[in-house]
């Protein structure tokens, strides 16, 4: 019976991600973010329980990636599509609307869906990789999803005209999309937040990241998330042996 518990938790991740898709399509970024955060929470605990019960297997690996594809792959692509849609102003070839079987499609926001494609490639690569048990190669999709979701949350809760102006700049969003796609599949070794023991010596980089992340979140709220991702990359690179 216990072997099915991690898979059930993984399905809760997929369920949360599916609900997030519905809210993202309707432009409700607050509830989208809530269900993505919930899905990532389940994603963390399915692996933890699988290791605790010693029931890791190929089925769990594949199911986990399929759930992540929705929660941390499809949803951030839709969110970026929504953000780019908000930047559309005057008519141009990049913003011209094209009618297709009753739908109005604008080319510029479609760039955001590159995040979904890059996430799919990253997850497929992870599934066939043999050297990502203690670390990650490239930015994990949940971390990338948090990065993308932080943008509408900053606009919603930070109430900063400067940050809003930056975020709603189409070139900033396009650049963020391209950087996101690169980081997902970059050949860089990043920390996995898996604790084999609680020793500070063995986990100093992980503890440092957690402490700094907590401080930044208290001080900067959602604006801290992009900085935490940068810190995560820098600490991982410095910790590489």
Instruction: Decide if 235 is inside a domain.
Output: no
Instruction: Decide if 176 is inside a domain.
Output: yes
Q: CA dist 220 to 161, 207, 212, 228, Å?
A: 15, 20, 12, 11
Q: Tell me which residue range forms the domain holding 139.
A: 2-189
Q: Give the CA count within 13 Å in the CB-facing half-sphere of 101.
A: 0
Supply the angle between the helices 141-157 and 29-53 in degrees, to the nearest 10.
150
Distance of alpha carbon 180 from alpha carbon 168, whole angstroms: 17
Instruction: Decide if 237 is inside a domain.
Output: no
Map tokens 């930070």 to a residue: 158
- Name the DSSP class of 187: S
* Residue 93, helix vs strand vs coil: coil
* Of 183, 180, 227, 222, the residue nearest 84 (C-alpha): 180
Map tokens 């997929």 to a residue: 14
Instruction: Decide if 154 is inside a domain.
Output: yes
- Nearest 5°: the CA angle 176, 182, 184 is 100
Instruction: Decide if 209 is inside a domain.
Output: no
pTM over 0.85: yes
CATH of the domain at 137: 1.20.120.1760
Domain count, the chain: 1
Distance from the Cα of residue 87 to its chain's centroid:
22
Would you write out the chain's pLDDT as a tens digit for each of its 241 residues?
Answer: 666 788 889 999 999 999 999 999 999 999 999 999 999 999 888 777 766 666 666 777 889 999 999 999 999 999 999 999 999 854 344 444 555 555 567 889 999 999 999 999 999 998 888 776 678 899 999 999 999 999 999 999 998 999 999 999 999 999 999 999 999 999 999 998 776 666 777 788 889 999 999 999 999 999 999 999 999 999 999 986 5
Instruction: Decide if 226 is inside a domain.
Output: no
Instruction: Decide if 173 is inside a domain.
Output: yes
Dihedrals φ, ψ of 185, to 5°?
A: -120, 15
């Amino acid at each position: 019976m216990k072997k099915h518990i991690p898979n059930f938790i993984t399905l809760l991740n997929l369920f949360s991600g599916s609900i997030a898709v519905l809210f993202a399509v309707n432009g409700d970024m607050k509830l989208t973010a809530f269900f993505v955060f919930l899905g990532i929470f389940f994603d963390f605990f399915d692996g933890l329980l699988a290791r605790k019960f010693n029931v890791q297997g190929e089925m769990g690996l594949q199911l986990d990636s399929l759930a992540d594809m929705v929660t941390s792959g499809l949803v951030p692509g839709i969110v970026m599509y929504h953000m780019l849609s908000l930047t559309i102003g005057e008519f141009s070839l990049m913003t011209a609307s094209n009618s297709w079987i009753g739908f109005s499609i604008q080319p510029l926001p479609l760039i955001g869906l590159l995040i979904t494609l890059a996430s799919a490639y990253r997850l497929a690569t992870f599934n066939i990789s043999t050297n990502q048990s203690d670390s990650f190669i490239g930015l994990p999709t949940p971390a990338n999803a948090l990065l993308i979701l932080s943008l509408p949350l900053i606009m919603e809760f930070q109430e900063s005209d400067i940050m809003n102006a930056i975020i709603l700049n189409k070139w900033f969003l396009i650049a963020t999309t391209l950087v996101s796609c690169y980081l997902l599949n970059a050949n860089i070794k990043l920390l996995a937040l898996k604790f084999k023991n609680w020793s500070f010596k063995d986990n100093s980089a992980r503890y440092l990241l957690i402490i700094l992340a907590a401080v930044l979140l208290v001080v900067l709220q959602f604006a801290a998330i992009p900085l935490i991702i940068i810190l995560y990359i820098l600490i991982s690179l410095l910790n590489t042996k």
